[in-house]
Amino acid sequence: MDARDGIDTLRVDLGLRGYDILIGEDLVATAGNHIRALAAQTRIAVVTDENVAQHWLPTLENGLTQAGIAHDSIVLPAGEHTKDLAHLEDLTNRLLDARIERATTLIALGGGVVGDITGFAAAILLRGLDFIHIPTTLLAQVDSSVGGKTGVNTRHGKNLLGAFHQPRLVLADVGTLETLDRRHFLAGYAETVKYALLGDPQFFSWLETKGADLCAGEREARRHAVLTSCSAKAAIVAEDERELGRRQLLNLGHTFGHALEAQTGFTDAVLHGEAVAIGMVLAFDLSVRLGLCPPDDAERARRHLAERGLPVTLNDLAGPEWTGDALFTQMLHDKKASGGQPTFVLVRGIGQAFTTSEVEAETVRTLLDDALKG
């Protein structure tokens, strides 16, 4: 890790496809300089959504102009429903209309949805373009902008069409978190807690102490959390880019969480991070039922997420009509399912995650039914 001019730099060590993650302030405004330093960019196409465009697109465009970088901008509708094939087709056609070339670099300015669909467009357009992430949500800064997972949802489930395509650079400007509404901030906080719960008990203790200040807006705490999460993710991705082993741990809470998202049709009835928060609590509960995890650790995890204001049970989400059977069936569509069995990330305690596909279907169904009874 390198800290210069108040900016921390982490390296994702993937040889020729390796890249830097810069974490600090004013990185949207100065993005032009960082991009110019990367290579002689002939053209840039910025992809963002209508919410982020209001707050940050002019700042980015001014910086690009000052750095002498020609650019086009495309603004997508905001929300998870944008991450589908229809919007991918529209995005790729608009980029082709703008006469992009192989040397054009795409910038994804926004959260997880913008990052995933833009990254996927970059992976497939003209057989592969460079792209840069400028994540503006906590979720994207701590998780989705790092590691090269790109893709869209289908009616069969979450992220079922996609590609591994690593960015050339990630610029995580913690100042952009100021314009994030509380619900979306908390959804990203759930992914931050995920790193602590899966492998870093000290970070979990730090979050128990500093989480309230972090959520209230303390910049230094936010920066520390983004840095710690990205360090963990960079190390895991460098070891297991294609998710054949250790990277699977990053799916803590996701087998349950993706099923919740799919059941609500990928609408804003449940945000990804909210689904992950409930999913992590269910993963801890399942681990306790299987005699793997001390109940006190599960309670500590649940209490911390609830105290920060995240949903922690299925009944905390108003609206959806869940059934245990439907959720379980959805889990079988998860892309991590193996031999017809869902794969779970379970825990032996806080910071001790592992994966298994050997949980009896009946145990999971009973857990879900009990969770629905409240």
Of the pair 44, 277, the CB lying nearest ligand GLY is at 277
* Given 49, 143, 274, 297, the residue binding ligand GLY (CB under 6 A): 143
309 DSSP assignment: T
16 DSSP assignment: G
User: Binding to ligand GLY (CB under 6 A): which residues in 229-248?
Assistant: 243, 247
Is 254 a residue of the active site? yes
Rounded to a whole number of angstroms, the minimum distance from the CB of residue 233 to ligand GLY is 7
123 binding ligand GLY? (CB under 6 A): no
Rounded to a whole number of angstroms, the minimum distance from the CB of residue 272 to ligand GLY is 9
CB neighbours of 199 closer than 8 A, spacing ≥ 6?
A: 232, 249, 351, 352, 353
Kind plus residue range of the DSSP H or E element containing 83: none
Is 251 a residue of the active site? yes
Of the pair 63, 147, the CB lying nearest ligand GLY is at 147
In the chain, which ranges are continuous DSSP H helix?
Answer: 31-38, 50-66, 85-97, 112-124, 138-139, 182-199, 201-216, 219-239, 254-263, 272-289, 295-308, 324-332, 361-373
Contact in structure between 167 and 223 (CB atoms under 8 Å): no
Residue nearest to ligand GLY (CB): 250
Amino acid sitting at position 228: T
Is 247 a residue of the active site? yes
CA distance 320 to 86: 25
With contacts defined by CB under 6 A, name the span among 18-26, 141-149, 295-303, 359-367 that binds ligand GLY: 141-149
Rounded to a whole number of angstroms, the minimum distance from the CB of residue 172 to ligand GLY is 15
250 binding ligand GLY? (CB under 6 A): yes
Rounded to a whole number of angstroms, the minimum distance from the CB of residue 38 to ligand GLY is 23
Rounded to a whole number of angstroms, the minimum distance from the CB of residue 148 to ligand GLY is 8
With contacts defined by CB under 6 A, name the span among 84-92, 143-151, 154-162, 265-273 that binds ligand GLY: 143-151
Phi, psi (deg, nearest 5) at residue 39: -170, 165
Contact in structure between 120 and 95 (CB atoms under 8 Å): no
Rounded to a whole number of angstroms, the minimum distance from the CB of residue 65 to ligand GLY is 33
87 binding ligand GLY? (CB under 6 A): no
Contact in structure between 215 and 185 (CB atoms under 8 Å): yes
CA distance 135 to 319: 30
334 binding ligand GLY? (CB under 6 A): no
Rounded to a whole number of angstroms, the minimum distance from the CB of residue 240 to ligand GLY is 9
304 binding ligand GLY? (CB under 6 A): no
Q: Pseudo-torsion of CA 299, 304, 307, 310, nearest 10°? A: -100
Tokens matching residue 305: 């997420």
197 binding ligand GLY? (CB under 6 A): no
DSSP 190-244: HHHHHHHHHH-HHHHHHHHHHHHHHHHT-HHHHHHHHHHHHHHHHHHHHH-TTSS
DSSP bridge partners of 173: 24
Is 258 a residue of the active site? yes
With contacts defined by CB under 6 A, name the span among 78-86, 142-150, 326-334, 337-345 that binds ligand GLY: 142-150
Is 243 a residue of the active site? yes
83 binding ligand GLY? (CB under 6 A): no
Of the pair 223, 254, the CB lying nearest ligand GLY is at 254
Q: Of these residues, 158, 184, 222, 254, which one is catalytic?
A: 254
149 binding ligand GLY? (CB under 6 A): yes
Active-site residue set: 127, 149, 191, 233, 243, 247, 251, 254, 258, 272
User: Rule CB under 6 A: which residues touch ligand GLY?
Assistant: 143, 147, 149, 243, 247, 250
